[in-house]
Every structure is written in structure tokens, then in C-alpha cells.
Amino acid sequence: MNRISWDQYFMAQSHLLALRSTCTRLTVGATIVRDKRIIAGGYNGSIAGGDHCIDKGCYVIDNHCVRTIHAEMNALLQCAKFGVPTDGAEIYVTHFPCLQCCKAIIQAGIKTVYYAKDYKNHPYALELFEQAGVKVEKVELTEEVIDFRTIHH
């Protein structure tokens, strides 16, 4: 029996979270991990209790939907809300984070960023990651990992 690798396991979790996204523009999921344990997760969505883009449409300003909180921010804010340290943690995201999220990730003390899909990959973000000593690695999700129908005992 082949065991799923940690990288694939955490990346699969982020893809599962992405399915909860309420913004139709991009479905993103993020999982924060410490010592091989999931400490928080998030997806692209509105403020709790707020209107969802899937119900009311996106609120677009300058080609960005301003209604949603990005998956990475939601995961970090979950840690803030419940008092969970993020220093030295790792984050698994379905897409390369936007510049704002990259800065938040660095400032929260996250030391490694694993992403599955390239998404604009801002050169300034890469520069900031390098300066901060944050490791960035692409980990693609191999699809059979989340196809539970293929599991054999």
C-alpha cells in the first residue's frame, strides 16, 4: 500500500478547502501546517455572515473582487482569532499568493510556501520571500490523490 506523502496530503487539503470558496473569480484554498499538523485553513470567501459573491455577484473595483478575504489571509486570521502561533510554520496554497498575501505570510513568520499552480507570480513577491529567507516550492497535486474512488484496500 502506498501512503500519501505529507506534501500531497496538505496540498489535497487546500484543494478540498478551495471547493468551499464563495467567489467565482478564483477558488483558492490554504492550509497552515506546523510540525506536520494542520493548524488552520482558509478559502476565498466573504466576511462571516456577509453576502457571498455566488449569491450577489462579485463586487469588482479595479478588476479585483473586494468582497472576499483571500484564502491565505483567512487561514492567518483564524490563527489570530484563536491565538495560534504561526512563527516557523508552513503554508500550502492552491495558487501562488498575491502580493498582499505574500507580505502577510512573511510578516506572520511563515517559513515555507508550497503552491500548486503558478498564478501571476509577482517578481516583487519572489524578491521579498528571498529577502525574508522564506522558501518557496511548487508542489503540484497529482490528481489521483483526491480521487477517493481509486483507493484500494
Q: Judged by CB under 5 A, which of 16, 38, 65, 77 binds Zn ion?
A: 65
102 counts as binding Zn ion under rule CB under 5 A: no
* Strand ranges for the chain from DSSP E: 29-34, 37-43, 60-61, 64-65, 90-95, 112-117, 135-138
Task: Find the catalytic residue in 72, 130, 137, 144.
Answer: 72
Would you report the helix, strand and coil content of the chain in percent, each value rounded to 5?
35, 25, 40
CB neighbourhood size of 106 (10 A)? 18
Nearer to Zn ion, 127 or 143 (CB): 127
- Asked whether 14 and 56 are in contact (CB, 8 A), the reply is no
Instruction: Tell me how far, at minimum, the Cβ of 80 lies from Zn ion, in Å.
Output: 16
Q: Which stretch binds Zn ion (CB under 5 A): 9-17, 57-65, 86-94, 135-143?
A: 57-65
95 counts as binding Zn ion under rule CB under 5 A: no
Q: Which residues contact 103 (CB under 8 A, 6 or more apart)?
A: 128
Let me know if 72 is a catalytic residue: yes
Q: Judged by CB under 5 A, which of 70, 93, 96, 116 binds Zn ion?
A: 70
Enumerate the active-site residues: 72
Q: Tell me which residues touch Zn ion (CB under 5 A).
A: 23, 53, 58, 65, 67, 70, 98, 101
